[in-house]
Amino acid sequence: MAQHTVTLIPGDGIGLETSAAMQRVVEAAGADIVWEVAEAGAACAEKTGTPLPDETIEAVKRNKVAIKGPCTTPVGTGFRSVNVALRKTLDLYVCLRPVLSMPGAGGRYDDVDLVIVRENSEDLYAGVEFEEGSGAASKLIKFCEDEGAGVIRPDSGISIKPISITATQNIVRYAFEYALKHGRKKVTAAHKANIMKYSDGLFLRTAREVAKEYEGRVEFDDRIIDAFCMNMVIDPAQFDVVVFPNLYGDIASDLAAGLVGGLGIAPGANIGKDYAVFEAVHGSAPDIAGQNKANPTAEIMSAAMMLDHLGEAEAAERIGARLVPGALFSSDTFYDESNPNATLQKLGVLAVEMEAAALYLNAARAGKQALALCTISDNPFTGEGLSAKERQESFREMMEIALEIAL
C-alpha cells in the first residue's frame, strides 16, 4: 500500500471532533496517510484576518487531495463561503454527493441509492453580483431596459446566472463516466428550461447532445427541477445518477439527504481535473462543539470516497461498509415468554443484551465515560447462532478493540 500525503482542514465548531474521529478510522482501515494540517474558516479568519490563507491553498495544490470538516460561513454579511472559494480557486467543477439509505438512521426510505452530480463553477454561485443602489447595478438595470430584456426595480440587488456550453459538457460527461465506472444505469438532467430558455435551456440542449455519446450504454432522461423534487420525495428509487446546474444541485442534495437521515450521514466531494477536496457537507454546529455529541459519519464516509479516489480500494471498502445506527436494548428479554423481539425490531432496536444499562448507570454515577462493545451471537428471527468456539474468538477480538480504544 502506497503512502499518501493529504491536506487536512479541520474547519470550525465540531469539525475538530469529526476530523479526529475520521483520522482514527482511516488509520484503522489500514491506509497509510500522512496528514498535513491546514487552517480555514471563521476561527482562522479571526486569527489570521482571512478565512482561507494562501498557505492552505498551496497545501492543497501540493498534495492534490484534501479533506475538510465544516467551515462556518456568515449569513448575509462577512466573507464568502470557504467552500465556494476552494472550488473557484482550484477549479473543482464537480460536486459529488452519494445518497444512500442506512438502516436505523431515521430515513424515510430503506432503498435510496442515488448520486447527485452538481456543476460547481457557475450559475448563480459564480459570485457575479451587484449591490442594490450601486452605480454598476444602475447601469445594468438601464442596459436591460434599453435592450428590451425586461424591467428591473431600481432598488434591486442583482445576481447573474451564467450557464456555459463548456461547463455543462464537462459536468454531464462526468456524470455519464461516473455511471459507467460504477455500474449505474441512468443519468437524469434536472433543469428549468421551460422558464429560463437561454440559461437552463442551454444546459438541457447541451446535456442531450452529450447523452448521444453514451446512447446504448447509459439511459438518459430529463426532469423539470420542481417536478424532480416532488418525484424524488415520492419515489427516490426511480433515480440513479442526477446531474444539475449549481443552485438546483445544492438544494436537491440536501433534500435528498433528508430522505436518508440528514446531513450528518451525507458525504461529499469537490473534484476537478487536478485537485480533489472531500468534505462533510453539514454545518459546523458550534452549539454542540466540544461536547462529544457530533456525528462523524459524514466525514468518515467522505474519507472512504477519498481513499477510493487515491486508489486505495480495499481501505475504502472497509470504511464504506454500511454503518447502522440504532438502539441497544438492555433487558432479560431472553427469558421473557412473551417474545417481544418483533416489537423491538419495529422500534428500531438493533440488538438485545443484558449488561450495558448497568455499565452506563454506574459510569454516570461515578462521573466516568463508558462504551459498550458487543458481538452478535444469535439471530432469533432466523435461528442462526455462533458456536461456542466462535463466541470465544469474537469475544477475544472485542476485548482487543476495547483495550486499544482505552489506551
pLDDT tens for each residue of 92-115: 999 999 999 887 778 888 889 999
Mean pLDDT per 10-residue segment, the chain (407 residues): 93 93 93 95 89 95 96 67 88 95 81 95 92 96 94 96 98 96 94 97 98 97 97 96 97 95 91 96 88 89 94 86 68 62 71 85 89 80 80 78 70
Q: Give the CA count within 13 Å in the CB-facing half-sphere of 316.
A: 12
Q: Which residues are catalytic?
A: 125, 192, 226, 250
**Residue 275 grid coordinates:** 485537485
Q: What is the pLDDT of residue 390?
A: 82
Contacts 24+ apart (CB under 8 A), 226-231: 226/192, 228/188, 228/190, 228/252, 229/255
First and final CA of the chain: distance in angstroms? 26
Q: Are 140 and 130 in contact (CB under 8 A)?
A: yes
Q: What is the pLDDT of residue 182?
A: 86
Could you give the residue ranges of the DSSP H alpha helices within 91-221?
135-146, 165-181, 200-212
CA-to-CA dists, residue 34 to 38, 65, 108, 179, angstroms: 13, 12, 39, 31
Say whether 67 sits in a helix, a strand or coil: strand
Taking the CA atoms of residue 399, residue 401, residue 403 and residue 404 in that order, the dihedral angle to the nearest 10 degrees is: 160
Q: What is the pLDDT of residue 372?
A: 83
Q: What is the pLDDT of residue 10?
A: 95
Q: What is the pLDDT of residue 39?
A: 94
CB atoms within 10 A of CB 363: 14
Q: How far is CA 330 from the centre of its chain?
A: 33
Spell out the domain ranges in the chain. Answer: 1-107+261-323, 123-161, 327-406
b/e per residue, 65-103, with b = 16+ CB within 10 A?
Answer: bbbbbbbbbeeeeeeebbbbbbbbebebbbbbbbbbbbe
Write out pLDDT tens, residues 170-229.
999 999 999 998 889 999 999 999 999 999 999 999 999 999 999 999 999 999 999 999
pTM greater than the 0.75 cutoff:
yes
- Rounded to an integer, what distance in angstroms lies between the CA atom of residue 326 and that of residue 265? 14
- Rounded to an integer, what distance in angstroms lies between the CA atom of residue 181 and that of residue 175? 10
Q: Which residue has the cell 492534490?
A: 64
Strand ranges, E, within 74-150 = 94-100, 113-119, 129-130
- Rounded to an integer, what distance in angstroms lies between the CA atom of residue 370 and that of residue 354? 16
- Rounded to an integer, what distance in angstroms lies between the CA atom of residue 185 and that of residue 202? 24
Pick the CATH number of 1-107+261-323 from 3.30.70.260, 4.10.780.10, 3.40.718.10, 3.40.50.150: 3.40.718.10
Query: In degrees rounded to 5, what are phi and psi of residue 203?
Result: -60, -45
- Rounded to an integer, what distance in angstroms lies between the CA atom of residue 187 and that of residue 178? 10
Q: What is the pLDDT of residue 335?
A: 53
